[in-house]
Structure 1
Amino acid sequence: CYDAFLDVTDPSYVLEQIGPEAPADTCTPAYDADSFYHYAGSLHEHTAYSDGTPLTRPADVYRRVKQSGFDFVGSADHSDNIGIPLSVGLSRAECSAEDFLYCLILVDKDRPQDAFAKWSATLTQSEAASDDSFTAFRGFEWTSDRFGHANIFFSRNYVNAKTGPGYAVTMALFWDWFSYPAQFGGGSDGLLSFNHPGREDDLESAFEFAGGDPGFTFNDFRYVPHADYRVVGLEVFGKGSEYDSDGPLGSWFSYALDKGWHLAPVGSEDHHGVTWGDPDLPKTVIVARSRKLDDLRDAMLARRMYAVAQHYNDLRLDYHVDGQAMGARLQRPAGTTLPFTVTVRRHSGAPMSSARIQLVGPGNEVIAEGRGDTLTGTLTVSAEKRYAFVRVLDGDAGDRPVAFAAPVWLLPGASPLPLCLPPAIWSGDSALHPRLP
């Protein structure tokens, strides 16, 4: 009751509920086992275009990750700096006197003019780095030291959290921008992932005497119906750490899912050095038709993703319920029993016999568990919508989490959901909602 009272008396909550609802569970992604493949890559990369190592640029990220043998990379410099020809990464590395001007102001020694057009230059560099064997794509990190940080990928526009009330007062204007048509400067063509939950906690600790800051972790992961379809991820690994276990009831991921969001786990690099793509950093694996940009984007929208920890970059995971892959929204009559299978492997097909596989439901409750590289069983559709995601722990490493896979959602209903249509938002026509049959 107390939480509900805070919601209805918060002007931000009222504004966040305005607009057409767009829940992800009004359709289910198309999938057949013979048409989809696992593509591994890195997300959440920084350069001197924001606060990374001086004299680095997105092209350096793309080149190094590609040379490391991965399939894709998504850069995400802080949007605070995208619109100005400055870098704030000087404290992270030495800069010679002869290069000081480039390190501080012009940022890019090869093409100093790009410092005045970082956003478009990033797109040009990503397109130049992409070919049939590798895809680079552009994103940015929205950074509020109160609500949290989030990455937005594939949008033609960006927004700066520091120049508006979204930074500390309300997230409502950010969600407005996220839903506003891209052709008019909005973010209706972007996909969002919540970053490192729980890290921006300065105000949370300062207001501990009053029960904490209500804005902590994106307004306590308050559900925003009109944003749900394109809010696709939550970081569970980042830098060299595992974030998820610090959340309520032992899982931020489960907590956000319980709030209503339809999310897939993300493994991010999120460092400010030059070791992009190294094996001691987490990765994300996308199950897509190909590594082409549109197919990767569609797979992220479908939540066909899983995250692998540092030093587990070669781990591959399959998770199917009733023949459908992770990210599926399966509507069946209540009481229906559906088979599930989870398999994990390493080293180009070698089994991971030390794995402890968990199937996890609402409230971070483990609903099925087993040792070894395979877990099978059944799930029963209940009278209420439920989800089940995969968490893999390594018995040889003290049972620490090393992989998470996106949920499958089970919904009660007389007939299966319609297939999600190809997203009209990619063409900029936000009036055509991709979930409509």
Structure 2
Amino acid sequence: MEDHRQDQTPRPERASRVLDDGTRLLFADLHNHTMLSDGAGDPERAFALMRGAGLDVAALTDHASIPHHQLDYLDPADYPDEEALALARMAPHSITDEGWARVEELAEAADVPGEFTAVRGFEWTEPWLGHANVWFSSGYLGVTTPGRVGGLHAFLEDEEPQALFGYNHPGREPGRFGDFQLEPSLVRRMVTLEMFNRYDDYLFEGVDRGRPSPLVACTAAGWRPGLIGVSDEHSRSYGLRGKGRTGVWAREHSRAGVREALLARRTYGTREVGLRLDATLDGERFGATLAPGGGARELRVDVGGGEHDGRPVQLQVLAPGDDGLPRVVALHDAVGGETAALDLPAPAGREPWLVLRVADPSRRGAGPSGHPGTAWGLACASPWYQEDAPA
């Protein structure tokens, strides 16, 4: 029998200290692999191990990629060069129909409303173009349009109207989802962009190769994702410290509650166990769409939990810059475990979004030299989007 006891590490408060709206904080990991694709973990034990690691919500998302019998017959015309074609031919082992059905059985057995939420998903995996997680679907899809996202978009639009999806480790694969090709009918259901994957911060991914920040590029294309962190676990262990995970502000601890919170973008990504983050801008939590306004704005922030209480943190407020990089609108020194309030300056122009990033000022993270937002990232909240603003 699996051990379902919760991790005894001190847990942060689950109620918001800046907004009284009936939501509670859940800790989630929405991206994990097993032996059903290219992972080493036992799918029969995975949900129990994640629950034992202190997670409230967990998903298994094994790969669904280009079928291996098709790899030698890929059309070079679907790729920009031989290097891209060679990368596409490195498709991982994919989940099977039997594996897909078994994950549903395991998720049903592990799911306990009010205690632990188990979700079945899959990772659509085009090795050159990019990887996308899909949750709450009845079926799964391998890559049917190599080199293009059209097959995935058609599957979501025509066959899976309840499914949600998001883009994984954005910018790692050279194709960048066809430069984040937009399908307007799917904007509402494209709910996540991974800012933390495994141990890595993706805010500046590819910038050193002359590419724009994935966050700036994705939103400029017209998508409006929430931000998350994930472990992308491939080992036999789950819920490891230092890897990405997600904070979800949910109205209900259930699959329906998690799905609603993802649609509302009430999420933040982190790679810190037990880190609590909540924030409001003029009374609206991150993920909200704000009416246009020209005056100063009040930002209230609650960040802390566990080992972060009493430690200095840096609050960074980011907006899209004209150079493809996030622009730092404001920096504020704060202390973990305490609420902070600051007035943001009136915008010089229309800002499509603002993002709150929490950093450790004592450590340098990724990013271009001289950029003011390169302190070590601890967490990144979903954007506040501005109504009718150009992305």
With normalisation by structure 1, the TM-score equals 0.69
1:198-240 deviation line (CA, Å, top 9, x unaligned): 2223xxxxxxxxxxxxxx1011112221111100111111122
Structure 2 counterpart of 1:217: 176
Structure 1 counterpart of 2:21: 34
SS of 1:44 mapped into structure 2: coil
Query: How far apart in 2 are the matches of 1:323 and 1:52?
Result: 43
What's the offset of the Cα at 1:146? Answer: 2.2
- Name which of 60, 66, 88 aligns with 2:51: 66
What's the offset of the Cα at 1:354? Answer: 1.8
What's the C-alpha RMSD, in Å, of the aligned pairs? 2.7
| Contact 2:316 2:328 survives alignment (8 Å) | yes
| Contact 2:198 2:243 survives alignment (8 Å) | yes
Count of aligned residue pairs for this structure pair: 326
Structure 2 counterpart of 1:193: 166
What's the offset of the Cα at 1:123? Answer: 1.2
1:134-283 matches, cutoff 5 A = 134-161=116-143, 164=144, 166-168=145-147, 170-180=148-158, 186-201=159-174, 216-248=175-207, 251-283=213-245
Query: How far apart in 2 are the matches of 1:189 and 1:115?
Result: 22
Rate the CA distance shift 1:239–1:82 in 2: closer, same or farther, 3 A.
farther
SS of 2:274 mapped into structure 1: coil
SS of 1:395 mapped into structure 2: strand
What's the offset of the Cα at 1:331? Answer: 1.7
Amino acid across the alignment from 2:298: P
| Contact 1:393 1:401 survives alignment (8 Å) | yes
| Contact 1:196 1:238 survives alignment (8 Å) | yes
Deviates more, 1:284-293 or 1:372-381: 372-381
Query: How far apart in 1 are the matches of 2:48 and 2:63?
Result: 20
Rate the CA distance shift 1:335–1:80 in 2: closer, same or farther, 3 A.
closer
Rate the CA distance shift 1:233–1:400 in 2: closer, same or farther, 3 A.
same
Rate the CA distance shift 1:80–1:258 in 2: closer, same or farther, 3 A.
closer
What's the offset of the Cα at 1:115? Answer: 7.1
Amino acid across the alignment from 2:354: A
SS of 2:30 mapped into structure 1: strand
| Contact 1:83 1:117 survives alignment (8 Å) | no
Runs (5+) with no aligned partner, structure 1: 1-30, 85-106, 108-113, 181-185, 202-215, 414-437
What's the offset of the Cα at 1:397? Answer: 2.8
Amino acid across the alignment from 2:343: G
Query: How far apart in 1 are the matches of 2:134 and 2:184?
Result: 18
1:310-389 matches, cutoff 5 A = 312-332=272-292, 334-347=293-306, 350-351=309-310, 353-363=311-321, 364-373=326-335, 374-378=340-344, 380=346, 384=350, 386-389=352-355
Rate the CA distance shift 1:346–1:251 in 2: closer, same or farther, 3 A.
farther
Query: How far apart in 2 are the matches of 1:346 and 1:250?
Result: 33
Query: How far apart in 2 are the matches of 1:393 and 1:260?
Result: 27
Identical residues among aligned pairs (%): 28
| Contact 1:143 1:167 survives alignment (8 Å) | no
With normalisation by structure 2, the TM-score equals 0.77
1:54-108 deviation line (CA, Å, top 9, x unaligned): 7x11x31110011112111011001249999xxxxxxxxxxxxxxxxxxxxxx9x
What's the offset of the Cα at 1:380? Answer: 4.2
Query: How far apart in 2 are the matches of 1:320 and 1:287?
Result: 13
Amino acid across the alignment from 1:191: L
Query: How far apart in 2 are the matches of 1:264 and 1:247?
Result: 20
- Structure having the higher helix fraction is 1
- Name which of 26, 30, 47 aligns with 2:34: 47
What's the offset of the Cα at 1:45? Answer: 0.5
Computing the radius of gyration from Cα coordinates, the structure with the larger value is 1
| Contact 1:244 1:250 survives alignment (8 Å) | no
SS of 1:45 mapped into structure 2: coil
Query: How far apart in 2 are the matches of 1:171 and 1:75?
Result: 22
Query: How far apart in 2 are the matches of 1:244 and 1:410?
Result: 20
Structure 2 counterpart of 1:291: 253
| Contact 2:66 2:146 survives alignment (8 Å) | no
Rate the CA distance shift 1:219–1:250 in 2: closer, same or farther, 3 A.
closer
Rate the CA distance shift 1:321–1:63 in 2: closer, same or farther, 3 A.
same
Query: How far apart in 1 are the matches of 2:63 and 2:345?
Result: 42
| Contact 1:385 1:411 survives alignment (8 Å) | no
| Contact 2:172 2:206 survives alignment (8 Å) | no
Amino acid across the alignment from 1:192: F
Rate the CA distance shift 1:177–1:83 in 2: closer, same or farther, 3 A.
farther
